[in-house]
Structure 1
Amino acid sequence: MLGNASGSVVNANGIQIVSYRGEENFWGNIWWWIDGINHYANATTGECDTYVADHGFTDDSKAAPYEDTGMCAKYGNGYISAFCYSEDFDWLFFPDSYSYNT
């Protein structure tokens, strides 16, 4: 309901949902599993090739209907300091770099 705006709404079950700049649920309250993202990580570089699909979900697949996002997500320790971006997948948020400053 809020789109990319910040604020809160109450859903049909009477639960208040907070949104900050379009991002909902900062507390990680996952109520169900969402499939469709496969990462292929390189343990040496900490980089991940990312593939997504909206149907025909399978584990460990780069084949259709999965599409290469062109994003090179990174994993590691520290605070996320930047996110990957792709015009075609502008709804995905994956960490691109980390900052180790406290």
Structure 2
Amino acid sequence: MSEEPISWDHLKTRRPTDADRDALRAELVGRALEVRQHGWDAYRSEWSNGDLAAVAYLLGDTAMLEELEENEGSVLTLLAGNLYGFNGARKDIEAGLVGTQAWFATVQKELDRL
């Protein structure tokens, strides 16, 4: 009995909504505030490396990014998919991730106000 191959086509057409992006923004800001208050140790085993990297990027924590072996490009590429879906992320990556950078800049400004 052979199994059907896994199809990822449904993910290629997924387009996150403004509400999805707002939820991601709120989650990242909340996590960044937690790290500011409690440090990284409590979250290293709780959050995925991708989540740790996104929060580290948001906080400008280059030491944590280095520890995770991540850089600005890898973090932005990962987050582009969450922000715009597969096809939208491909377009943003081809454009130099300007949309993703702009989104992060607004989230960083919000975090700086808190």
Higher RCO structure (Cα 8 Å, ≥6 apart): 2
TM-score w.r.t. the length of structure 2 is 0.22
TM-score w.r.t. the length of structure 1 is 0.23
More strand by share: 1
